[in-house]
Structure 1
Amino acid sequence: MTKFGELISVQKPVLIDFYTDWTPAENALETLRNVAAALGDKANVIKIDIKKNEALADSLHVKGNPTFMIYKNGEMKWRQTGVQDANTLIGLVLQYL
């Protein structure tokens, strides 16, 4: 995996979904696809598997599934644990353009 610092150190917003397969969120993948499609190249949308990236999840104190974060220029701007709908996520990311 690309180094996390490289992923978040960009000028456009980065929406990250920390997830695991063992707690399926209804339509989670479809929601992220809709967010990515709506935002186009204005933002990056990334899914990170908690089980495959335990050290990163631990360092960021990710305890719930899913946990969403928005970064811009390497700085965390927003964080929320729990299912979010596409329109909410799109609106949040647009605040950081």
Structure 2
Amino acid sequence: MAIIQLTSDNFEAEVLNSDKPVLVDFYADWCGPCKMMAPVVDQIAEENDDIKVGKINVDDEQDLAAKYGVMSIPTIGFFKGGDIVDKSVGAKPKSELLKMIGK
């Protein structure tokens, strides 16, 4: 499944009102660890049709980052039923992100 670029305009529809759980990658283009996580997040999106995967550029969407307490990046949030149910900060192995989504 393709990764969705999330903004304050589509966040409610794509994440909060999603019928599927959503993995959200809070990142910035200048962030080295974020660049390391990008292929991992891409793989998870490709291999798991039962979840949505989205990315939020924290430089462009500072309000969303603040709302979800993103103080360091990369931060990966896992949303179910419109609520954030798990959060991981920093570069993590794929296996740790899979555990977060129950795989």
TM-score of the aligned structures, taking structure 1 as reference length: 0.84
| Kept after mapping to 1: 8 A contact 2:26/2:76 | yes
Q: Who is 2:21 aligned against?
A: 13
Higher helix proportion (structure 1 or 2) = 1
Q: How many residues align?
A: 94
The share of aligned pairs that are identical, in percent, is 26
Q: Which amino acid aligns with 2:13?
A: E
SS at match of 2:18: coil
CA RMSD of aligned residues (A): 1.6
1:33 aligns with 2:14: no
| Kept after mapping to 2: 8 A contact 1:20/1:65 | yes
Map of 1:1-97 to 2, 5 A cutoff? 1=7, 2-8=9-15, 9-25=17-33, 27-39=36-48, 41-94=49-102
Unpaired stretches in structure 1, ≥5 consecutive residues: none
What is the CA–CA distance in structure 1 between the aligned matches of 2:88 and 2:21, rounded to whole Å? 16
| Kept after mapping to 2: 8 A contact 1:15/1:46 | yes
TM-score of the aligned structures, taking structure 2 as reference length: 0.80
Q: Which amino acid aligns with 2:42?
A: R
Q: CA deviation at 1:94?
A: 2.8
Q: CA deviation at 1:22?
A: 2.1
Runs of 4+ in 1 over 4 A off after TM superposition: none
What is the CA–CA distance in structure 1 between the aligned matches of 2:98 and 2:11, rounded to whole Å? 22
Unpaired stretches in structure 2, ≥5 consecutive residues: 1-6
